Structure 1
Amino acid sequence: MLAVSVTGFALLQSLVTPVLSEIQANLHTDQKTVTWVLTGYLLAASICTPIVGRVGDRVGKKRVLVTVLVGLSIGSLVAGLATSIGPMIIGRVIQGVGGGVLPLAFGIVRDEFPERKIPGAVGILASLGAVGGGIGIVLAGPIVDTLGYHWLFWLPMIVTILAAIVAHAIIPESLVRTPSKISLLPALLLSTWLVCLLLALSQGGDWGWTSGRTIALTVASLAVAAAWVWVEKRSASPLIDMDMMRLPAVWTANSVALLVGFAMYAAYAFLPQFAQTPGTAGYGFGASITESGLILLPMAVTMFVVGLLSGTLVRLIGPKVVVVTGCLVSASSMAALALAHDEKWEHYLANAIIGVGVGLVLSCLSNLIVAAVPQEQTGVASGINANIRTIGGSIGAAVMAGLVTSSLLPNGLPREAGYTNGFLALAGAFVLAASVALLIPRAGRRGVEKDLTGEPEHPELGLVAAEPAAGGSPSSG
């Protein structure tokens, strides 16, 4: 049931991505505005994910999971009924509440699973969260071709309603609680600086990067972000625990998640648009929605398969090497996409290799976070990691939109150079992520090991070691 919930949320992240151009035409809007169908969803998830994780830790993860699934259903209903771009974006923002599914699922695994099975279960859920995005892009074309784009919302609505019913019936309620109040001021400050930043990034190309509005929004974003950190550090019940964020194992994993999210979500948003560009623009494949989704299918497949195998690699070579390798593999393929604009097979191959890299990174990061914090903070800590990845995705989609649409052809389509510059920027994000990953604290081959006293081998890392099963060795997924 947890796997179904995580997959359903991930599908909603990407189902609309290949059909943004069709939504744009049907709702009579422009390319920059329709991008907020994706960006608004990611922004809402960025804000709601840590809040939902904290609420789950306090009042019960099962209860909050069911509530979040109902929220996803309501958002799908609003978006499915939308006849203009405003209600469509509102529906997608409501769906963004579903970002809380990931921390709640990780928390339930931590509370209910035998300790030796936690790494494998977390790795699988993390892989499903990433792979679902790719699968959504693949499924979007057939759904739209046979039923129409409104069914991109009706079908998830049906699935999430059923998931909420089944979750209520079969998932046990955890007895682990974190008795603390939830402050609204940090959430307000978080949402304010994110909105200011995303508006500046997405509209800077039109307004001018040195225009008064762009500079004012950027300065406001930095000022409010500083205020948010100040409030969080002094709050008796912070939304995001800044002391926890300072643990080397946590801040490095979160920094990598931010950069990988930046590149991954932007790629999801714009690779289909590149493929759908008609040949009259001088590039692109003139692909249908279904064809553009199939080009991304290799990424989803390799991401899932590698995610399942990543635990073995972590035991053999350690988590740091796995994460660095994954980032560099993805960077090389993204750089190839910046130059490979002539043949479809080049995109199939590049996307498959990107999936290998991202699959290695995401499944490993989730286990690092779950192992790094006390059990009662699993929900909020994993929520922060998912949240930071989503924030990265929000920024990445906005930056990519600004780069791609910075120069347009007379027919309104982006120039090829916009995509080239955009994909190179995403490759740079992966390289930077690899550089940050080099700072991940060194651990044993099993990721976290104990000495003969039973204490963590590296207690300064903020890591909590998993107990081996009786008569066996720890298992990692």
Structure 2
Amino acid sequence: MSSTDRRTDYRVTFLVLCVGVSSFSLLQSMVNPVLPTIEAALDTDQATVTWVLTAYLLSASVFTPIIGRIGDKVGKERMLVAALTALTIGSLMAALAPSIGVLIAARAVQGIGGGVLPLTFGIIRDEFPREKVAGAVGTSAALLAVGGGVGLVVAGPLVNALSYHWLFWVPMVMTALAAIAAAVWVPESPERTPGRINVGSALLLSAWLVALLLGVSQGASWGWSSGRVLALFVAAAVLLPVWVVAETRSDAPLIDMRMMRIPTVWTVNLVALLFGMGMYSMFAFLPQFLQTPEFTGYGFGVTVTVSGLLLLPQTAATFLAGVFSGRLAARFGSKAVLVAGAALTSLGTLGLTVAHDHLWQVVVETTVLGLAFGLAFAAMSNLVVDAVPQTQTGVASGMNANIRTVGGALGGAVLASVVTSGARPDGLPVEAGYTHGFGVLVVTSALAALVALFVPVIRARTHRIVDEEQGEAVPVHPVAAPAAAPAAQPAGAHRA
């Protein structure tokens, strides 16, 4: 029996999707706390070992929207299996890597799995009952942040008990099982976007993203005024508008610029950029802050394992907020949930800026941040999914996830520069570096909340236009409305 002849219970599909998203999100953060361990084990230096993170970031940024778009065209279920297979192969390569070069290559292969995110949102929209879509998107979106927190928690104990290789063996098993389950139980997509894949657009998108993110991620080590970094920024500044013009004129664009100009889409993407700066920076720098020796006068001197455990309440709060975000969105609207999430982020980062002398203060403040992350991630995903045609769900949510990643790279680079701007004689940052860094994130999260106030609310209906070339009616995006009613999801042909 073919997969098109059967419709798996949406709850089984959701379980498979959650395993895939969780595996990808674990791989985003598990490696961060143990880079010094990997550096020593593979006999390399700090500048080289950072490419373990950079290669993953670049690969995920390039492939997330591309795989989302391919899924819209050839089938989301097929591409979900392909993305999970890439994660499995990359994890196997990393677990067995005999050298730093092989490990870096393995991380680039893992980054292809970033397509799991937009494919997950698209499958949920295609397969779930309309009233279940917001909650399912919210939960799966929150799992991305939850996985990031869990990765920080389990990395230390896993490495101490076994070895750093198990940071890749565990996700490998999860993604392999998820790939098999997806092939067996996830139905083929009922929605397809006709046309070819625009290879030229994909190359241009890859080029400007790599130039921008490589310059940002390597600016601190290469020097912000170095010729290499400046050349990368100039290349990104030139290639980005070239890509936009090429997409606008293309008969088969990779990213539909009309979709990107939808008011809800571009405002939510701007929120995602600002929000990503805060969230990913917190994942990177909070463990360092907690592990700073006590003799500095501000650090707590905890181990990698303890610092992860201290962030466990944040992870739990993120998950709970994601689970309940659907109900909140149904009652108050996704826009209100997004504003609340961004405002809570401002509150949490403000708390870290002015009160970080005791561990209980940090735990309370990071728990508030966890609630904020869960609410905002869920709301952003729901708003984007609701705002675009069903045939563009994958690429739209892929770009939103990608823009969060770009924001994270920018925020991490900015925070690194601020935190390390005034170093002690022993090389450790001074307290003011962290204080000023947290203050920067207060500003970015406040700006995110401000932009969120201007996100248009979506009417619970779509318009239809006549495609001049094909002479048939095709759905286009919902239009903005001043009404404050919560966003609703158009029913798919194969929903319950």
**Length-normalised TM-score, structure 2:** 0.86
2:210 corresponds to which residue?
Answer: 195
2 CA distance for matches of 1:112 and 1:164?
Answer: 18
1 CA distance for matches of 2:232 and 2:374?
Answer: 35
Q: CA deviation at 1:457?
A: 13
Q: CA deviation at 1:431?
A: 1.3
2:293 corresponds to which residue?
Answer: 278
Aligned 1:437-456 pairs, distance under 5 A: 437-442=452-457, 448-449=459-460
Which among 310, 317, 323 is matched to residue 295 of structure 1? 310
Whether contact under 8 Å (2:346, 2:443) holds in the other structure is yes
1:145 corresponds to which residue?
Answer: 160
Q: Is 2:479 the partner of 1:459?
A: yes
CA shift digits 1:67-116 (9 cap, x unpaired): 11110011112222234433322221211111111111111111122222
Which among 246, 250, 261 is matched to residue 246 of structure 1? 261
1 CA distance for matches of 2:447 and 2:173?
Answer: 40
Whether contact under 8 Å (2:389, 2:477) holds in the other structure is no
Whether contact under 8 Å (1:272, 1:293) holds in the other structure is yes
1 CA distance for matches of 2:449 and 2:393?
Answer: 25
2 CA distance for matches of 1:4 and 1:457?
Answer: 30
CA shift digits 1:375-401 (9 cap, x unpaired): 111121122212221222232233333
Letter of the aligned partner of 1:143 in structure 2?
L
Q: CA deviation at 1:450?
A: 5.9
1 CA distance for matches of 2:196 and 2:421?
Answer: 45
Most deviating of 407-416 and 171-180: 407-416
Whether contact under 8 Å (1:39, 1:398) holds in the other structure is no
Whether contact under 8 Å (1:193, 1:221) holds in the other structure is yes
Change (3 A) 1:333 1:140: same
Q: CA deviation at 1:427?
A: 2.2
Most deviating of 190-199 and 269-278: 190-199
Cα RMSD of the aligned pairs, angstroms, is 2.7
1:46 corresponds to which residue?
Answer: 61
1:85 corresponds to which residue?
Answer: 100
Change (3 A) 1:416 1:194: farther
Whether contact under 8 Å (1:407, 1:415) holds in the other structure is yes
CA shift digits 1:268-291 (9 cap, x unpaired): 112112222223444322221211
Q: Is 2:26 the partner of 1:11?
A: yes
Most deviating of 458-467 and 141-150: 458-467
Q: CA deviation at 1:230?
A: 1.6
Q: CA deviation at 1:467?
A: 5.7
Change (3 A) 1:244 1:130: same
- Match of 1:176, SS state, is coil
1:474 corresponds to which residue?
Answer: none
Change (3 A) 1:131 1:82: same
1 CA distance for matches of 2:281 and 2:103?
Answer: 20
2 CA distance for matches of 1:204 and 1:5?
Answer: 33
1:473 corresponds to which residue?
Answer: none
Whether contact under 8 Å (1:449, 1:457) holds in the other structure is no
Whether contact under 8 Å (1:15, 1:152) holds in the other structure is yes
1:329 corresponds to which residue?
Answer: 344
Change (3 A) 1:459 1:118: same
Aligned 1:108-257 pairs, distance under 5 A: 108-257=123-272
Q: Is 2:123 the partner of 1:101?
A: no
1 CA distance for matches of 2:490 and 2:253?
Answer: 30
2 CA distance for matches of 1:168 and 1:185?
Answer: 30
**Length-normalised TM-score, structure 1:** 0.89
2 CA distance for matches of 1:199 and 1:320?
Answer: 33
Whether contact under 8 Å (2:220, 2:413) holds in the other structure is no
